[in-house]
Amino acid sequence: MLELISRIFGKETSSKDIARERLRLVLVHDRSTVSPEVINLLRDDLIQVIQKYMDIDLEGLLVNIEGEDNSVALIANIPIKGLKRASAI
The CA distances from residue 82 to 33, 37, 41, 78, 79, in Å, are 34, 29, 24, 12, 9
Count of structural domains within the chain: 1
Q: What is the DSSP letter of 84?
A: P
Report d(CA 17, CA 15) in Å as an integer: 5
Across the 89 residues of the chain, what is the mean pLDDT of every consecutive 10-residue run?
58 73 70 75 89 91 78 84 76
Q: How far apart are CA 62 and CA 71, in angstroms?
A: 20
| Residue 35 confidence (pLDDT) | 77
pLDDT at 6: 58
User: What residues form DSSP beta bridges with 76?
Assistant: 63
Which pTM does this prediction carry? 0.52
Return phi, psi of residue 10, to 5°. 75, 15
Helix axes 15-31, 2-9, angle to 10 degrees: 140
